[in-house]
Amino acid sequence: MTVFDTLCSRRRAMACVALTWPAARCAAARGTVPASNAPALALLSPAPADIDPSGYLVSEKLDGVRAFWDGRQLRFRSGRPVPAPAWFIQALPPIALDGELWGGRGRFDVVSGTVRRSAPDDAGWRALRLMVFDLPGAAGDFATRAAQITDAVRGASSAVLSAIEQTLLPDHAALQRRLDSVVRGGGEGLVLHRADALWAPGRSQALLKLKPVQDAEAKVLAHERGRGRLADVMGALRVRTVDGVEFRVGSGFSDEQRRQPPPLGSWITYTHRGLTPTGVPRFASYLRPHDAEL
C-alpha cells in the first residue's frame, strides 16, 4: 500500500458527504450560487517556483476542456450545456463532478473542436474521457474527496470516466523531477491541491498550478493589422486582463489563426514570463482560446 493509499483509507473513514447531492444544491446551502448560469468552481492560482509540495496532492495539469457535471447535466465553465452524445451522458454517475474533457496530451484543438459541435461526432467523443479532479460542494478535505472520486469512478465502471492520479511528493526536488518528466512528455505542468483543503469556489492558495511558463486570460479588444509578411492578416491582438491591464499579444499564432483571429470580445489564454513593475505581462504569447468561453 502506498503512502497515498494509506492517507486515502484514513480519510475515507471520515467521509460524511452524500455523493448524490448535486453541486448546485450544495452551493445553495453555502450561499455561493452565482448570479449567472456559470457554475461556481474552484480555480487555479499560480504556484511559487520554489514551492514545497509537503501537504499537497500533486497531479498533471491536463490540456483539455473544463466540464462540470451536476448529476443531471454536463456544462462548460460558461454554463452552456455540453452537446455530448446521449451514450456519454448516460455513462456518468448521479453525483456532482468537476473535471476535464481530455483526449491525450497536445490535443486541445481536437478536443475543443469535438466538444463545440452542436451535432455530436461519435468517433470524436469516443476518444474523450471526463478526467475527474474534484467533487464540487462536497464536504470533507481534498484527501477525502480524492478517495471518494476513486471509489466513484471504480463503481461507475465507465470507459468515459477516469480519476486524475493524485500523488504525494516529499520535497521540491521530487516536484521538479515530476514537472520535468511531464513537460518532456508533452504535458503542460502540474496541479498542487492542499490535502487538507475544504472545497470552495474561486481562486485560493489551496489550489495551484506549476508550469515552466505562466499563463493567464485576457479579453480581445482589437485586431491590429500586420506588417511585411503579415500585411494582409492580423499582426497582433490588443487585449485586456480582468485587472484592466491592456497590452498586445503578437506571437504564438499559426498562419491560419492570423487569417481567422479570435473574435472581438472573446477570451484567450496567453503565456508570459512574469510581470513588469506596471503589471504588463513579459513576452506574452498566444496559447489558445480560453475554455471558459465554451
CATH number, position 96: 3.30.470.30
Residue 28: the pLDDT is: 33
| Domain match, 41 and 119 both | yes
Residue 12: the pLDDT is: 43
CATH number, position 281: 2.40.50.140
* Cα–Cα distance measured from residue 63 to residue 57, given in angstroms and rounded to the nearest whole number: 19
Examine the fold and report which residue of 154, 182, 210 is the final residue of a domain before the chain moves on.
210
* Cα–Cα distance measured from residue 235 to residue 255, given in angstroms and rounded to the nearest whole number: 10
Residue 291: the pLDDT is: 81
| Domain match, 196 and 263 both | no
What are the backbone dihedrals phi and psi of residue 244, each rounded to the nearest 5 degrees, phi first?
90, 10
Which parts of the chain sit beneath pLDDT 70? 1-36
* Cα–Cα distance measured from residue 258 to residue 245, given in angstroms and rounded to the nearest whole number: 23
| Domain match, 142 and 181 both | yes
| Domain match, 220 and 113 both | no
| Domain match, 149 and 259 both | no
Amino acid at 87: W
| Domain match, 53 and 178 both | yes
| Domain match, 22 and 141 both | yes
Residue 235 parent element (H or E) = strand 234-240
Short-list 185, 155, 145, CA closest to 57: 145
* Residue pair 239/249 in contact by the 8 Å Cβ criterion: yes
CA atoms within 13 A on the CB side of 286: 24
Length of the chain: 294
258 C-beta neighbours (distance < 10 Å), count: 18
Residue 293: the pLDDT is: 74
Residue 277: the pLDDT is: 86
**Alpha-carbon separation of residue 83 from 124, 194, 267, 293 (angstroms):** 12, 33, 21, 14
**Alpha-carbon separation of residue 155 from 9, 59, 95, 150, 187 (angstroms):** 16, 22, 12, 9, 28
* Cα–Cα distance measured from residue 137 to residue 133, given in angstroms and rounded to the nearest whole number: 13
Residue 33: the pLDDT is: 36
| Domain match, 114 and 228 both | no
Is 268 buried (19+), middle (13-18) or exposed (0-12) by CB count in 10 A?
buried
User: Given the DSSP bridges, would you call strands 161-163 and 129-134 parallel, antiparallel or unpaired?
Assistant: parallel
**Cell numbers at 230, concatenated:** 503579415
| Domain match, 204 and 268 both | no
Short-list 110, 120, 64, 60, CA closest to 90: 120
User: Given the DSSP bridges, would you call strands 246-249 and 202-210 parallel, antiparallel or unpaired?
Assistant: unpaired
* Residue pair 64/111 in contact by the 8 Å Cβ criterion: yes
Examine the fold and report which residue of 156, 186, 210 is the final residue of a domain before the chain moves on.
210
241 C-beta neighbours (distance < 10 Å), count: 16
Q: Please tell me which residue in 61, 209, 211, 219 is annotated as part of the active site.
A: 61
Residue 66 parent element (H or E) = strand 65-69
| Domain match, 182 and 272 both | no
Domain count within the chain = 2
Domain enclosing residue 227, as ranges:
214-293
* 153 contacts: CB under 8 Å, gap ≥ 6: 132, 161, 162, 163
| Domain match, 175 and 45 both | yes
* Cα–Cα distance measured from residue 146 to residue 12, given in angstroms and rounded to the nearest whole number: 9
**Any idea what DSSP says for residue 50?**
T
Examine the fold and report which residue of 161, 195, 210 is the final residue of a domain before the chain moves on.
210
| Domain match, 138 and 178 both | yes
Residue reference for cell 487538507 = 196
Per the annotation, the verdict on 61 as an active-site residue is yes
CA atoms within 13 A on the CB side of 79: 9
